[in-house]
Amino acid sequence: MKPVDRIPRIVIVGGGVAGLLLATRLGRKLGRRRKAEVLLIDRGPTHIWKPMLHTFAAGTWNIFQQQVQYLAHARTNSFEFMPGSIQAIDASRKTIVLDDLVINGTLVAKEREIAFDQLVLAHGSHANDFNTPGVPDHCHFIDGQQEADAFNAQLRAVVARGFLNRQNIDIAIVGGGATGVELAAELSRLVELATAYGGQVSARKYLRITLLESSQRLLAAFPANVAASATRQLQALGVSVRQGVRVVRADAQGFVLEDGTRVDSDLKVWAAGIQASGVGGETLQRNRAGQVIVTPELSVDGVPGIYAIGDCSSLTPEGAERPLPATAQVANQQAQHLAKHLPDHVLHGRPIPAFEFRDMGSLVSLSHYNAFGTLGRLGFFDGTFIQGKFAQFSHAYLYRRHQFLLHGPLRASALWLADRANALVQPKIRIS
C-alpha cells in the first residue's frame, strides 16, 4: 500500500483579531479539504474583540455573551485548537516550545514541542509600563479578558462604596490613546446607569476621573480634529484631562508626576504604550516595543516559513516615515491577506505578494455620548470628519463585520438578534 504523504502543518500563535480570523479562513480553505493541518495556539480558552475590552472592564457590556469559545469555533471551521503559551522558537528545526500548561493551579500538560511547516505569530501586544516603579504592583491593565474582569470586580466594589457612603469615586487612567479615552467615557456611563440601582442620589457628583497623557494631546495616532473633539466631550462629562504630564511612580494611593505633584485615586489603570512579548528570543529582529519586524510580504526577514501579523508585528510601508499602527484594522487586513495567499504558497510554492494597507479611516467611540472619526481616503471620501450617530453606527459596524467574517452571515445575524433580545431583559450594567 502506498504511504499517505504528510500534509503540511500551519501553526498560528495567538487567537486575537488577526490570529482567529486567519485560522478560521485557513480552516475553511485547507483544513476542511485535508489539504493542510491548521493549528491555533492561545493561552486562554476564549476570544473577545479587543477594541471592546473597555466596555467589559466597565461592565456596560456582557463579556460572556460576546466571547468565542476556541474549541467550539475550531470544530465548526475545521482547524485545531491547543491551549498553551509559546516559550521559544527553533527556526532551523521548525519547532516551537510551549510552556507548562497550568489551569487553576493544576499541571495539565508539561512543556511541549510542536513542529510546523509554516508559523504565523499573531500573539498581539500589551500596555507598556516603561519600567515605571510601582505600576505592576498597583495598577490595573486592560489587555485581556481576565484583566478586564478583575478590574470590573474591584470597580463594582468602589462604586458601591461610593453610593453607600456618599464618598468620592476617584479613578485615574494613564494613557490618552483609544483605550484610555474610551474607558473614561464608559466609566462615566457606568456610574450614570448605576444610579438607577443605587437609590435616589445621583452618583455623577461623586465620580472623579482623571486622564493623564504624556504627549501634548490625546489620541496622538488620530487626526487632530478627532482628538480635539474627543477631548471636549470628555471634559463635558467632567473628566479631568491632563496633557503633557509624565507619571514617574505609582503607589497604593495614586500616581506621582514628574513635577512632584500627586494624583490620588482609588482605582489606577495603566493604558499607555504597547509592548509585544519577546517570543523567539534573538531569532527574530524586533523594534524597541518588542514587535517583530517583517518584510512587505509579512514574513520575518531571513527566517523562511515564519510570518508575523497584527500588533506583535512592525511593518513600515515603502516610502512611509513610520510603521503601520497597532490597530484592529491593520490586523484584520493582514490576516485576510495571508488567508488569501498562504494556501497557494503552501500547496503550489507561489510567492506571497506584498501587503498593501488600505486606510479605511479611524474611529473612537465615547460610549453612547458621541463618536468621532474620519473616513478613509477612498473614492469620493477624502479623510472626511464624522461624528454623532453616523460615527457611532460606523464604530458598531466594525464589530458586527468582525462577527460576520468569523461566523458567516446567518450566525452573525443570529448573534446580533440575541444581543438585542438580551438588552431587553438583562440589566444594562453588570451588578454582580
Residue 430 within a domain: no
If we measure between CA atoms, which residue out of 30, 36, 43, 41 comes closest to residue 117? 36
If we measure between CA atoms, which residue out of 422, 400, 399, 402 comes closest to residue 413? 400
Residue 306 within a domain: yes
Residue 428 within a domain: no
Residue 3 within a domain: no
Last residue of a domain, one of 213, 240, 273: 273
**Per-residue model confidence as pLDDT tens for the chain (432 residues):** 344 468 999 999 999 999 999 999 999 999 999 999 999 999 999 999 999 999 999 999 887 778 999 999 999 999 999 999 999 999 999 999 999 998 888 998 899 999 999 999 999 999 999 999 999 999 999 999 999 999 999 999 998 888 888 889 999 999 999 999 999 999 999 988 877 665 545 667 789 999 999 999 999 989 999 999 999 999 999 999 999 999 999 999 999 999 999 999 999 999 999 999 777 666 788 999 999 999 999 999 878 899 999 999 999 999 899 999 999 999 999 999 999 999 999 999 999 999 999 998 899 999 999 999 998 765 555 678 999 999 999 999 999 999 999 999 999 999 888 888 887 777 777 766
Residue 324 within a domain: yes
CB 240 within 8 A of CB 254: no
Last residue of a domain, one of 301, 332, 352: 352
List Cβ<8 Å contacts ≥24 apart for 32-38.
32/77, 32/78, 34/7, 35/7, 35/343, 35/347, 36/7, 36/8, 36/9, 36/10, 36/343, 36/346, 36/347, 37/7, 37/8, 37/9, 37/10, 37/80, 38/9, 38/10, 38/12, 38/78, 38/79, 38/80
Produce one character per residue of 376-401: b if its CB has 16 or more CB atoms within 10 Å, e if not: eeeeeeeeeebbeeebbebbeebeee
The answer to whether residues 29 and 150 belong to one domain is no
Cα–chain-centroid distance for residue 178? Answer: 11
The answer to whether residues 79 and 21 belong to one domain is yes
Last residue of a domain, one of 222, 252, 273: 273
CB 170 within 8 A of CB 208: yes
Domain residues for the domain of 308 are 9-125+275-352
The answer to whether residues 203 and 257 belong to one domain is yes
Residue 66 within a domain: yes
| Its pTM surpasses 0.85 | yes
